[in-house]
Amino acid sequence: MTDHTQIYVNGEWVAPSSNDKIEVFNSTTEAVMGTIPAAAADDATKACAAARAAFDGWAATSKEDRVALLNKVHEGLVARADEIATAITAEVGMPLKLSKIIQAGNPAMHFQQAVNILEEFDFDEEVNNSQVVKEPIGVVACITPWNYPLNQITAKVAPALAAGCTVVLKPSEVAPMSAYILAEIIDEAGFPAGVFNMVTGYGPTVGEAMVISDDVDMVSFTGSTRAGKRISELAAQTVKRVSLELGGKSAAIILDDADLTKAIKGTVGACYLNSGQTCTAHTRLLVPEGKYEEAKQIAHDAVSGWTVGDPTEEGIRLGPLASEQHWQRVEEYIQKGIDDGAEVILGGTGKPEGLETGYFVKPTVFGNVDPKSTIAQEEIFGPVMSIITYKDDDEAVAIANDSIYGLAGAVWSGDQDRAMGVAKRMRTGMVDVNGGRFNPDAPFGGYKQSGNGREWGKAGFEEFLETKSIQL
């Protein structure tokens, strides 16, 4: 049990004004693994005021001073990587081996990347008779999700601090333990008081108080499209900049000249990572009509190899979902797919045999899915794949684009030029061609209701900058 009783405001660990607590559950055992404060709106308001008071001083610091502090955070994250991975595996359910690489490795990478960009970034540019200056936007409210908890925090906090902004963080109450580790590391690094603040609690209280605060200049949010819409409405009242990374319903288009086995295995990997709790998951598998039966068998065999169980054990590829509430939601979607007449190729409702305790879901593959059906249109956020057939390339692109989302996708083909042509027609922020590996230096973000703005790399850094023209 880890019981946190304080929040981090103005360089100090302080008791919140509310005595309410939130229980954090182990997703495998369903036992309470700790508690955190359910802070009040007033606590968020005080944190925003502290960030505002600290902004001018932090914005005026040199690159060298910022780099030195950011490097200390990087070193701290590396030193506590095992602790971070263990906590997130317990909260979220990702297999421990993967958590060490992704859930603990990516946060350290974000701080190293922020240092690298800051050291090379030119904040001044001459344009004819003008000096164009890039300046930190101000106080940034960061509101983050539970599926990749520390990764999503550091993808915002690292570039924001590097850019010269001050930060108020509200981590997810479902998976908050790694956020406390980061706050401890930042505290030990010696940042000026108020540069980084963390307030735990619920979105409608703490989150909304941050969004409406007059002290906040920008909101950076990752989470559901529903919550993103609410944040946009509230932030509009003070005309804040809002960066949103929201949901997805990504399609993998397998063209008729692709290596079918390789393509389907690659798509399965992109769909079931982190038990499907990934916004970029390739959950719609589009195959030519004439290859459906073959594709169905390959998908069945591939998914059958994804062993489900305790994510701390060797050989487990699919852990539980993060919470009972989310488990119920995914089960309802699986039942909806059955009720709507989709073919159940593998899986279905209920927990896997022998896994009655823990938020486990059967890895499920639906076939002959109507592209207009609920399971083909709505984000399930679990280990559920839908196989959809198409007649030709034009129809494949039309089906892929027939979504309110536009975050990620994939194209598989034996002809790279043909694949690129299809990729450019997809209305989505990221596309993998023939299993192209993820590039952390490239912009991360989507079209349509998948959000606006970009994270990662130089594009993510520039989100936290304002532009000023000085005419000479």
List residues with catalytic annotation: 245, 279
H-state helical runs in 190-323:
208-212, 225-235, 260-272, 292-304
Residue-by-residue DSSP string for 337-404:
HHHTT-EEEE--SSPPTT--SSS----EEEES--TTSHHHHS---SSEEEEEEESSHHHHHHHHH-SS
Distance CA 35, CA 22 (A): 5
- In angstroms, the CA 81 to CA 29 distance is 23
Region of residue 387 (phi > 0: left; psi between -120 and 50: alpha; otherwise: beta): beta
Q: 384-390 and 282-288 as β-strands: parallel, antiparallel, unpaired?
A: parallel
Q: Residue 295, CB half-sphere, CA atoms under 13 Å: how many?
A: 32
Return the axis-axis angle of helices 105-120 and 149-163, rounded to nearest 10°: 20
Q: Which of 256, 92, 279, 108 is nearest to 182 (CA)?
A: 108
Distance (Å, rounded) from C-alpha 222 to C-alpha 451?
A: 9
Measured between alpha carbons, how far is 120 from 87 in angstroms, rounded to an integer?
A: 34
Q: Any residues with CB less than 8 A from the CB of 289 and at least 6 apart, and which?
A: 389, 390, 391
Alpha-carbon gap, residue 302 to 140, rounded angstroms:
43
Dihedral sign (CA 437, 440, 443, 445): positive
Q: Is 139 helix (H, G, I), strand (E, B) or coil?
A: strand
